[in-house]
Amino acid sequence: MANEQVLRGMRGGAVLMVALLSACAGFKLPGTPQQVTAEGEVVAEMVAAPAVALPAAEPGDPAYVIGPEDALEISVWRDETLKAATLVRPDGGISFPLAGDVIVAGKTATQVRDELVKRLSKYVPDPVVTVSVARVASYRIYVLGRVNKPGDFQVGRNIDVLQALSIAGGMTPFASEDGIQIIRKVDGKSTSIPFEYSRIRKGGDLSQNITLKSGDVLLVP
């Protein structure tokens, strides 16, 4: 009799354990960074995350794209007359001795250096030019439409489309993933650049996640 009671107790415990394991199988921990759909798609949650402040760009970052009101320091080795600390004008240009007006906005420090070397070579034999970004100016972007926190945002570094969506609190449930447009002014004319979020969500074309420029408008229909 005692053995039968022990066996019954063991069977009951086994049944309870199976029930607990079954319940746990369907449980998802909160705060999981990614969700995987039935089709195996990995859903990036960064655009649904709360807005976070982005750190300022490092002036010494070789990939940094120069913009208006950035402060540049330019020098030519062994020539004290060819040295300048200058602000990038609103039109994206600077003036430098012998080189004249140079458009620097939209370029890296390395690209500006190469352009100055090309121009100065007409007057200085084998010029050794140094270009550095001494101070990064903040710039403004706009995120409008079906996002949780639409508005204009002043940022201190270059950000891409996904980061901008995150700053704006992510898209609302009724937003059109494939109808997003980046409105940008080029030579005084507005141009529209399409952005299909669903392709990125499915692990597709990441090249469309471009770096935004000052004044860009991200429109989420």
Among residues of the chain, what percentage have pLDDT more than 90? 48
Asked if residue 86 belongs to a domain, the reply is: yes
The count of other CB atoms within 10 Å of the CB of residue 7 is: 10
Coil, helix or strand at residue 198: helix
pLDDT for the residue numbered 157:
66
- CATH of residue 215's domain is 3.10.560.10
The total domain count for the chain is 2
User: Residues 71-83: pLDDT tens digits?
Assistant: 999 999 999 999 9
Query: What gap in Å lies between CA 33 and CA 5, rounded to an integer?
Result: 47
Instruction: Count Cβ atoms within 10 A of the Cβ of residue 163 and give its class: 0-12 exposed, 13-18 middle, 19 or more buried.
Output: buried
User: Do 124 and 88 share a structural domain?
Assistant: yes
User: Do 161 and 127 share a structural domain?
Assistant: no
Range picked from 27-31, 137-141, 179-183 for highest mean pLDDT: 179-183
- CATH of residue 76's domain is 3.30.1950.10
pLDDT for the residue numbered 90:
87
Q: Which band of pLDDT confidence, cut at 50, 70 and 90, is reported for residue 68?
A: confident
Asked if residue 42 belongs to a domain, the reply is: yes
The count of other CB atoms within 10 Å of the CB of residue 145 is: 18
pTM equals 0.49
Asked if residue 105 belongs to a domain, the reply is: yes
User: Do 167 and 115 share a structural domain?
Assistant: no
pLDDT for the residue numbered 15:
43
Asked if residue 55 belongs to a domain, the reply is: no
User: Do 164 and 202 share a structural domain?
Assistant: yes
Mark 59-72 as b/e (b = at least 16 C-beta within 10 Å). Answer: beeeebbbbbebeb
User: Do 181 and 119 share a structural domain?
Assistant: no
Domain boundary among 95, 115, 135: 135
User: Do 214 and 147 share a structural domain?
Assistant: yes
Q: What is the mean pLDDT of residues 171-197?
A: 91
Domain boundary among 86, 112, 135: 135
Asked if residue 90 belongs to a domain, the reply is: yes
142 versus 138: the higher-pLDDT residue is 142
User: Do 114 and 143 share a structural domain?
Assistant: no
Place of tokens 């471009």: 210
User: Do 217 and 176 share a structural domain?
Assistant: yes
pLDDT for the residue numbered 60:
62
Domain boundary among 135, 156, 186: 135
Contact 74, 96 (CB under 8 A): yes
Domain encompassing residue 180: 1-50+139-221
Q: What is the mean pLDDT of residues 136-140?
A: 78
Query: What gap in Å lies between CA 96 and CA 21, rounded to an integer?
Result: 72
